[in-house]
C-alpha cells in the first residue's frame, strides 16, 4: 500500500459547469412544471397526457449533455441506458397518471440498484462519475485519475461513495413512490423534481466534503509515514 500524497486533479472550467447546471435546472425542473400546468390549466389536457409531454424535457436535457460531451464513455453509456429506460416506462404508463408519476422513481431506484451492483465489479460506478466530473476529460486528466486506483484509500473511498449513493437513491425512490399514492398530481409535479434534485444536491455536497476529508486524512497518514521513515533512517545513520 502506497503512502504517497495523491496529486490534485486538473482544473476544470467553471463556466462550462455553470452552463450545464443552468440548463439542467431549466429543462429538468422549471420546464416540466410550467408545461404541465399550462397544458392542464390553460388547454384542458388530461393529467396523464400533460405528464407524458412534460416528461420529455428531462430526456432532452440528458440527450443534450451526451451530445455536448461528444464522447461515448462509461458515463455516457449509463446516461443512454437510463434515457431508454425512462422512455420505455413513460410509454408503458402513458394511460396511467400514477405510472407516469412513479416512472422517475423507477429510474432513480434502478440507479441505486446499479450503484450497489457495481460494488461487485472491478471498479464501482462512482469511480467513473468521479473521472467524468473530477477531471478535464483530456487524455492526461483521464490517465491521472486512472492512476489513483493504485491507492488503497482511494479505492475504499470510491466504494464507500458508491454504497452511500446507492442506498440513498433507493430510499429516495421508495419515498416518492409512497408520496405518489398520497399526494394529488398537481402537488407531485412540483414535489417530485424537488426531491430528485434535492437528493442529488445533498449527495453532491456530502461527496465533496467526504472527498476533502478523505484526502486530508490520506495526506496526514502519508506525512506521518514519511516522518517515521526519516526518523528510522536518522537512527540507523547514528548507529
- Decide if 166 contacts 112 (C-beta within 8 A): yes
If you average pLDDT over residues 206-232, what whole number do you get?
80
Full residue range of the structural domain in which residue 201 is found? 14-229
- Under the banding of pLDDT at 50, 70 and 90, the label for residue 16 is low
Q: Could you tell me the three cell numbers for 173?
A: 425512490
If you average pLDDT over residues 155-162, what whole number do you get?
95
Among 32-36, 103-107, 140-144, top mean pLDDT goes to: 140-144
**Residue 3: its pLDDT value, please?**
44
Within-domain flag for 143: yes
Number of domains in the chain: 1
Asked whether the predicted pLDDT for residue 75 surpasses 70, the reply is no
Within-domain flag for 194: yes
Q: Could you tell me the three cell numbers for 113?
A: 440498484
Q: Could you tell me the three cell numbers for 144?
A: 491521472
Q: How many CA atoms lie within 13 A of 117 on its CB side?
A: 7
Within-domain flag for 61: yes
Q: How far is CA 22 from the centre of its chain?
A: 16
If you average pLDDT over residues 123-142, what whole number do you get?
80
If you average pLDDT over residues 177-206, what whole number do you get?
87
* DSSP structure class, residue 137: S
Within-domain flag for 203: yes
Asked whether the predicted pLDDT for residue 73 surpasses 60, the reply is no
| Four-residue CA torsion sign, 45, 51, 52, 57 | positive
Q: Could you tell me the three cell numbers for 51?
A: 405528464
Asked whether the predicted pLDDT for residue 92 surpasses 80, the reply is no
Q: How many residues does the chain have?
A: 239
Run of H or E residues at 202: helix 185-238
**Long-range CB contacts (< 8 A, 24+ apart) of 201-206?**
202/168, 203/164, 203/165, 203/168, 206/164
Within-domain flag for 1: no
**Residue 140: its pLDDT value, please?**
83
Across 61-65, 76-80, 154-158, least confident range: 76-80
Within-domain flag for 58: yes
Measured CA to CA, the distance from residue 178 to residue 166 in angstroms comes to: 19
Q: How far is CA 63 from the centre of its chain?
A: 16
Q: Does residue 84 or residue 159 have the better pLDDT?
A: 159
- Decide if 123 contacts 149 (C-beta within 8 A): yes
Within-domain flag for 238: no
- Decide if 203 contacts 165 (C-beta within 8 A): yes
Within-domain flag for 171: yes
Q: How many CB atoms lie within 10 A of CB 218?
A: 19
- Under the banding of pLDDT at 50, 70 and 90, the label for residue 137 is low
Amino acid at each position: 500500500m502506497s503512502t504517497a500524497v495523491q496529486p490534485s486533479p486538473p482544473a476544470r472550467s467553471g463556466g462550462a459547469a455553470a452552463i450545464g447546471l443552468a440548463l439542467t435546472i431549466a429543462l429538468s425542473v422549471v420546464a416540466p412544471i410550467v408545461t404541465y400546468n399550462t397544458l392542464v390549466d390553460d388547454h384542458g389536457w388530461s393529467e396523464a397526457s400533460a405528464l407524458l409531454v412534460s416528461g420529455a424535457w428531462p430526456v432532452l436535457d440528458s440527450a443534450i449533455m451526451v451530445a455536448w460531451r461528444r464522447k461515448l464513455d462509461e458515463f455516457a453509456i449509463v446516461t443512454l441506458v437510463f434515457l431508454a429506460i425512462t422512455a420505455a416506462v413513460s410509454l408503458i404508463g402513458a394511460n396511467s397518471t400514477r405510472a407516469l408519476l412513479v416512472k422517475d422513481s423507477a429510474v432513480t431506484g434502478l440507479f441505486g440498484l446499479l450503484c450497489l451492483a457495481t460494488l461487485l465489479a472491478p471498479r464501482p460506478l462512482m469511480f467513473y462519475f468521479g473521472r467524468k466530473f473530477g477531471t478535464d476529460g483530456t487524455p492526461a486528466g483521464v490517465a491521472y485519475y486512472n492512476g489513483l486506483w493504485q491507492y488503497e484509500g482511494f479505492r475504499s473511498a470510491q466504494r464507500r461513495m458508491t454504497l452511500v449513493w446507492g442506498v440513498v437513491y433507493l430510499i429516495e425512490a421508495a419515498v416518492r413512490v409512497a408520496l405518489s399514492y398520497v399526494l394529488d398530481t398537481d402537488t407531485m409535479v412540483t414535489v417530485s423534481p424537488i426531491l430528485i434534485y434535492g437528493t442529488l444536491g445533498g449527495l453532491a455536497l456530502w461527496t465533496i466534503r467526504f472527498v476533502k476529508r478523505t484526502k486530508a486524512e490520506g495526506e496526514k497518514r502519508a506525512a506521518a509515514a514519511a516522518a517515521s521513515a526519516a526518523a528510522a533512517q536518522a537512527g540507523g545513520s547514528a548507529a
